[in-house]
């Protein structure tokens, strides 16, 4: 007789709190939980600890990975955890061999979150993750907005986007983070893109962002801009009380830049629509009497 296994969920006594190590190791996290007498085995799932997940400015489901489909132990070591905070969900299962088909029921589940220590480069990538999740959501990105736009973080705080010096040089694009948190880092500080040539969209991006949360430090931007995109320079990165390190401008791809052909803005909020750029440049030159 062929047996079909199905999954159902039942209400039962909950786990005690799932305990996950927080920054105690540089290559792993340890997960512990208290067993349930009725449970025959457990599974361990991992997902990035974020209220939303954004790809190219669009919200997508947060992916869950099953690390352990079935174990009878009440602990697990995850030595594949990437940088960032991750949530571990433990599910307790019980089977009913007398049912036809056999039933495998989730009788309880609980979660806990943890993270590992990171290298300076991983610290920068975690910071950049917040930058890349926030910029595509700015409605004014790539447009003139002297009044400014305010946008809330997914978890806390807000950022402001503003353009200035429309009829002067350098043309300014300013983004300020105020206790801004999308995931597990909070950003505070301002960076400014200064465009000296509107036709070639050349200039610099400078500024300092303070980072707090599961990791702490600063990121200083000192970038060269050409054709509306980063084309040189460095990020000066300092994690905690460590030494400052230089990270090249092209150390990480920027999702916003990948959408340039569809008319989206560059990472630095510069105009990239050719018709709009020419129209704006003509108006500026007329105003300047050129």
Interval 140-161: pLDDT, tens = 887 888 889 999 999 999 999 9
Confidence (pLDDT) at 152: 95
* 105 and 129 co-located in one domain: no
* 73 and 171 co-located in one domain: no
CB atoms within 10 A of CB 226: 13
Confidence (pLDDT) at 160: 96
Confidence (pLDDT) at 269: 34
Confidence (pLDDT) at 255: 42
The answer to whether 189 and 220 are in contact (CB under 8 A) is no
The answer to whether 246 and 235 are in contact (CB under 8 A) is yes
Q: Which of 93, 114, 135 represents a domain boundary (last residue)?
A: 114
Q: How many domains does the chain have?
A: 2
Confidence (pLDDT) at 1: 41
* 61 and 188 co-located in one domain: no
Alpha-carbon span 228 to 89, nearest angstrom: 43
* 64 and 168 co-located in one domain: no
* 136 and 273 co-located in one domain: yes
* 90 and 137 co-located in one domain: no
What six digits make up the tokens of 223? 């970038």
* 178 and 94 co-located in one domain: no
Residue 268 lies in a domain: yes
Residue 71 lies in a domain: yes
CA nearest neighbour of 130 among 157, 162, 163, 164: 157
Residue 131 lies in a domain: yes
* 206 and 268 co-located in one domain: yes
Q: What residues in the chain have per-residue pLDDT under 50?
A: 1-8, 10-11, 255-277, 280-281, 283-290
Residue 1 lies in a domain: no
The answer to whether 116 and 23 are in contact (CB under 8 A) is yes
Confidence (pLDDT) at 196: 84
Q: Which of 114, 135, 151 represents a domain boundary (last residue)?
A: 114
* 88 and 209 co-located in one domain: no
Print the domain residue range for 107. Answer: 6-114
The answer to whether 200 and 227 are in contact (CB under 8 A) is yes
* 265 and 174 co-located in one domain: yes
In Å, how far from its chain's centre is CA 112? 19
Q: Which of 114, 140, 162 represents a domain boundary (last residue)?
A: 114
Alpha-carbon span 259 to 255, nearest angstrom: 7
Residue 55 lies in a domain: yes
* 44 and 159 co-located in one domain: no
């Amino acid at each position: 007789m062929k047996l079909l296994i199905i999954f159902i969920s039942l209400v039962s006594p909950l786990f005690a709190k799932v305990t996950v190590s927080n920054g105690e190791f540089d290559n792993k996290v340890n997960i512990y939980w208290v067993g349930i007498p009725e449970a025959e085995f457990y599974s361990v799932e991992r997902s990035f600890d974020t209220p939303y997940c954004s790809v190219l400015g669009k919200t997508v489901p947060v992916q869950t990975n099953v690390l352990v489909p079935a174990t009878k132990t009440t602990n697990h070591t995850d030595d594949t955890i990437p940088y960032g905070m991750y949530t571990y969900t433990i599910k307790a299962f019980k089977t009913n061999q007398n049912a036809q088909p056999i039933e495998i029921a989730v009788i309880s589940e609980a979660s806990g979150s943890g993270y590992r220590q990171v290298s300076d480069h991983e610290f920068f990538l975690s910071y950049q993750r917040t930058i890349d999740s926030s910029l595509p959501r700015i409605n004014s990105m790539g447009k003139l907005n002297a009044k400014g736009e305010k946008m809330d973080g997914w978890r806390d705080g807000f950022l402001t986007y503003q353009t200035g010096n429309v009829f002067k040089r350098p043309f300014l694009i300013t983004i300020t983070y105020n206790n801004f948190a999308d995931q597990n880092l909070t950003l505070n500080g301002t960076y400014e893109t200064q465009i000296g040539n509107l036709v070639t969209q050349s200039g610099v991006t400078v500024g300092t962002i303070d980072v707090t949360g599961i990791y702490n430090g600063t990121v200083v931007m000192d970038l060269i801009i050409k054709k509306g995109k980063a084309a040189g320079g460095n990020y000066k990165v300092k994690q905690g009380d460590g030494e400052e390190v230089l990270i090249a401008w092209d150390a990480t791809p920027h999702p916003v830049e990948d959408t340039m052909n569809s008319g989206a803005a560059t990472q630095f909020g510069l105009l990239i629509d050719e018709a709009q750029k020419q129209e704006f440049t003509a108006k500026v030159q007329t105003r300047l009497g050129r």
